[in-house]
Structure formats: C-alpha cells, structure tokens
Amino acid sequence: MCVLSVLLTWPARRWLVAVLAGAGTFAMLGLATAVVANPVFGRSIAPTPWAMEVLVATSILTGLLTATYVRRDGGGLAPQGADDRPARGGLIGGALAYVAIGCPVCNKLVLLALGASGAVRVFAPIQPYLAMAGMLLLGWALYVRLGGEASCAWAPPPAPEESATAVEATQRTPDQSSVN
C-alpha cells in the first residue's frame, strides 16, 4: 500500500500533531456526547455498544488527517491547493460521527424535527449508518491527502531487446551516433 507507506516518512512533528489532534478529538467528542462519562454532560439513553469504537476510529482518522496539513520542513501549515475536498470531507465526516455517537433524544434538531418518540424510533436506527458514512468520509479524505504525497506509479520493466538497445544508445559517443 503506497499511500500508507507515506506515514513511515513523516517527521516527529507531524506525529506529534496527529497524537494531539486525535486526543483532542477524542476528548471533545467523547465528553460532549457523554460516551466518556463525565460530570458535565449526561445522556438520557445509554451509549450504544459501538459508540466507543466509532469514537476511537474517528479520533485516529481525524488526528492523521489533521497532521497532513503540517509542512514537512517545519514551516507551519502546508499551503492549501485549489482542491479543498479532503478538508470538507473530513469536516463532514467528523460531524457525522458526532451525531452518530450522540444521544438521539439529546439532539435538539432531531427532537424538533421528529419529537422524542421519533428520535428513538426513526433516528436511533440510522445512527450506525451515519457513523459508517462519517468514518468513510474521514478515511477518503486521509487517502486523498496521503495520495498527494505519494507517487505510486509503477511501470513494467523494459523488454530485453529494448533494454539492450537503450544501453547501446547511452554508451555511444556523439561521434559514433552520427556515423550510424
């Protein structure tokens, strides 16, 4: 996997940003949705069994994606090109994960649109799909960002006749090439 091999070339500064961004994402999403128990935020409905796994995966992907925006040479943030789709995909993916792991009856927009019973009967069953969509968007954004750093072009080796001809052509001196 050429794209993932780019991670092996990252400097320590990028890894530090990845760890800090991942930990920050874990803390913000985990505490705000009360997937991580805390005295400030609470839930009316207990977290789903898969909420912690989604939180961890989202945190890892967000940390890695954030680190791709740090320059390799240590000069601050990397310049953004004209194609900002990965950033939008990462933002939407993180938002979908937040909504997916949150309490269905604690979401004010869902309560306004569907009511409390609708939030439990309609919204709660689609939360796993929102989580999957969020993680796929984050994964896609990371893949695109890493793909921009990797060059995975592969060309087949030249045929034996072609390689012999190419070697002969490079070994000729300018005087010999004009004679032939």
Domain borders along the chain are 2-179
Compute CA 123 distance to the chain's CA centroid, rounded to the nearest angstrom. Answer: 26
Distance CA 180, CA 178 (A): 6
Q: What are 52-109's pLDDT values in tens digits?
A: 999 999 999 999 999 988 887 766 665 555 467 788 888 999 999 999 998 888 888 8
- % helix, strand, coil for the chain, step of 5: 70, 0, 30
pTM of the full structure: 0.75
Question: Encoding tokens for residue 22?
Answer: 């991942």
User: Directed axis angle between helix 85-101 and helix 124-149, to 10°?
Assistant: 150
Name the residue among 45, 21, 88, 87 with its Cα closest to residue 29: 21
What three-state secondary structure class fits 125?
A: helix
